[in-house]
């Protein structure tokens, strides 16, 4: 039910909202995801440095999303606060672990998340909504196909120590789903994207989405939790929805910025 309500609204926002609103929506989702990541740390007894973590994540997000904003000067300030924060906590080994874990969350949500927003802001801006939709549909189609193929045909575990339910067959189905999703978006709104490029991007983004899913599963297994949060009824937390997008977005960003 959550997906039936949220998905049409999300697609409408991506297609019709101005870039600034779309980026604000992405930033808000990433902020929730970072808060959930810090929750995983707390579940393991690690106290993250929340304030400096959000500051550094914002700097990385803005720098990747729109380098012209000159947000990078915030990074040295955030780094100083992060490092001196270990002293304020007494300088024990736990404070060093907290700083390192905080930085992991910053890179995970800030740097990778910035590439999602960059897809909306790269020129030509009028294509930005379709680039975002390409990412979203490719990852969602991959997830859906992987789920059904895995349940119907899954025999060989993909990563049994990380996510026992995932299978090689499901992953292959996910690659096919990603290609189909990319081709659908190309047909609807990106006709200038070469057919071969769409196929390659669909498979590559789907593959990275699977890696992102496994990465988040590793974090949750390490923390001893089933879901990253309870924000989305029936779908877990925000981080559970962002994992594949975070790993797939950089590929599309590099393609549209440098390789196209």
Smallest Cα–Cα separation from 120: which of 260, 242, 200, 20?
20
For residue 5, is pLDDT > 70?
Answer: no
Contact 174, 146 (CB under 8 A): yes
Q: According to the model, what pLDDT value does residue 87 have?
A: 66
Domain ranges for the chain: 2-259
For residue 113, is pLDDT > 90?
Answer: yes
DSSP notation for 84-144: HHHHHTTS-HHHHHHHHHHHHHIIIIIIHHHHHHHHHHSSSGGGHHHHHHHHHHHHHHHHH
- Which tops the pLDDT comparison, 135 or 97? 135
Question: How do residues 163-186 score in pLDDT, each as one tens digit?
Answer: 999 999 999 999 999 999 999 999
Smallest Cα–Cα separation from 243: which of 112, 141, 138, 150?
112
Q: According to the model, what pLDDT value does residue 255 have?
A: 97
φ, ψ for residue 163 (rounded to 5)? -145, 90
Contacts of 219 (CB under 8 A, 6+ apart): 37, 40, 228
Smallest Cα–Cα separation from 132: which of 33, 258, 12, 3?
12
Q: In whole angstroms, what is the distance from residue 188 CA to residue 190 CA?
A: 6
Average pLDDT across the chain, whole number: 88
Q: According to the model, what pLDDT value does residue 228 have?
A: 80
Is the full-model pTM beyond 0.85? yes
Question: How do residues 63-77 score in pLDDT, each as one tens digit?
Answer: 889 866 655 666 677
Residue 259: pLDDT band (50, 70, 90) is confident
Question: How do residues 226-251 score in pLDDT, each as one tens digit?
Answer: 878 666 666 678 999 999 999 999 99
């Amino acid at each position: 039910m959550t997906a039936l309500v949220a998905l049409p609204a999300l697609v409408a926002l991506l297609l019709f909202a101005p870039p600034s609103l779309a980026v604000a929506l992405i930033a808000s989702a990433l902020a929730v995801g970072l808060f959930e990541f810090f929750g995983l740390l707390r579940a393991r007894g690690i106290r993250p440095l929340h304030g400096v973590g959000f500051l550094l994540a914002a700097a990385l997000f803005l720098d990747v999303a729109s380098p012209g904003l000159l947000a990078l000067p915030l990074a040295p300030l955030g780094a100083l606060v992060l490092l001196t924060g270990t002293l304020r906590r007494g300088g024990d080994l736990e404070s060093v672990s907290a700083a390192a874990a905080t930085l992991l969350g910053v890179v995970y949500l800030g740097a990778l998340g910035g590439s999602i927003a960059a897809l909306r802001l790269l020129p030509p801006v009028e294509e930005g909504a379709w680039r975002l939709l390409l990412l979203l549909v490719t990852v969602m189609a991959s997830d859906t196909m992987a789920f059904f193929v895995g349940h119907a045909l899954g025999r060989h575990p993909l990563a049994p120590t990380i996510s026992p339910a995932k299978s090689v067959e499901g992953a292959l189905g996910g690659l096919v789903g990603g290609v189909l999703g990319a081709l659908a978006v190309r047909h609807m709104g990106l006709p200038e994207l070469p057919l071969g490029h769409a196929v390659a991007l669909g498979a590559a983004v789907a593959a990275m989405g699977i890696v992102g899913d496994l990465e988040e599963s590793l974090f949750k297994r390490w923390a001893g939790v089933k879901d990253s949060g309870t924000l989305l009824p029936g779908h877990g937390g925000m981080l559970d929805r962002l994992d594949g997008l975070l790993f797939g977005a950089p590929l599309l960003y590099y393609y549209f910025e440098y390789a196209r």
